[in-house]
Amino acid sequence: MSGADIVVQVLADEGVDTIFGYSGGAILPTYDAVFRYNRSNKRDNGEAAIPLIVPANEQGAGFMAAGYARASGKVGVVMVTSGPGATNTVTPVRDCMADSVPIVVICGQVPKAAIGTDAFQEAPVSAIMGAVAKHILLVTDPSKLEETIRSAFEIARSGRPGPVVVDIPKDVQNWEGEFKGAGVLPLPGYNRRLSAVTNNRLTDAQSKRFYEMLARSERPLIYAGGGVINGNATKPMRRFAAEYGIPVTTTLMALGASDTTHPLAMHMLGMHGLASANYAVEDCDFLIAVGARFDDRVAGDPENFAPSAQNIAHFDVDIAEVGKVKRVDWHHVGILSRDLEDLLAYGRRINFGKDFSAWHAEIAELKDRYRLNFDRESELIQPYAVIEEINRHTRGEAIITTGVGQHQMWAAQYFDYREPRLWLTSGSMGTMGFGLPAAIGAQFAQPGRTVIDIDGDASIRMNIGELETATTYNLPIKVVVLNNFGDGMVRQWQKLYYESRMSGSDKSLHSKDFIKAAEADGFRFARRLADKSELESTIADFMAFDGPAFLEVIIDPDAGVYPMVGPGLSYARMITGDFIKSRETPDKTAPGPSEMF
Catalytic residue among 74, 134, 170, 367: 170
Question: What's the rounded Cα separation, in Å, for the pair 406 and 399?
Answer: 19
Q: Tell me phi and psi for residue 468, to 5 degrees.
A: -70, -30
Catalytic residue among 58, 146, 154, 466: 58
| 58 labelled catalytic | yes
Q: Tell me phi and psi for residue 110, to 5 degrees.
A: -60, 160
What is the pairing mode between strands 220-224 and 423-424? unpaired
Element (H, E) at 10: helix 3-13
Q: What is the per-residue DSSP string for 397-465?
A: -SEEEE-SSHHHHHHHHHS---STTSEE---SS--TT-HHHHHHHHHHH-TTS-EEEEEEHHHHGGGTT
| 120 labelled catalytic | yes
Report which of 273, 211, 212 is spatially closest to residue 248, judged by C-alpha positions. Answer: 273
Catalytic residue among 35, 42, 47, 120: 120
Question: What's the rounded Cα separation, in Å, for the pair 76 and 385?
Answer: 34
Bridge partners, 529 (sequence order): 553
Question: What's the rounded Cα separation, in Å, for the pair 95 and 91?
Answer: 6
| SS3 call for 480 | strand
C-alpha distances in Å from residue 14, one per residue of 50, 81, 381, 579: 12, 22, 48, 51
Catalytic residue among 9, 121, 243, 362: 121
Bridge partners, 265 (sequence order): 248
Report which of 131, 57, 20 is spatially closest to residue 433, judged by C-alpha positions. Answer: 57
C-alpha distances in Å from residue 436, one per residue of 40, 282, 402, 524, 539: 32, 36, 7, 17, 19
Catalytic residue among 97, 268, 271, 489: 489
| 492 labelled catalytic | no
Q: What angle do CA 484, 488, 490 make, to 5 degrees?
A: 155
Element (H, E) at 22: strand 19-22
- 204-236 burial code (b ≥16 CB/10 A, e <16): eebbeebbebbeebebbbbbbbbbbbbbebbeb
Task: Provide the 10 A C-beta neighbour count for residue 440.
Answer: 31
| 382 labelled catalytic | no
Bridge partners, 2 (sequence order): 176
Residues involved in catalysis: 58, 120-121, 170, 489
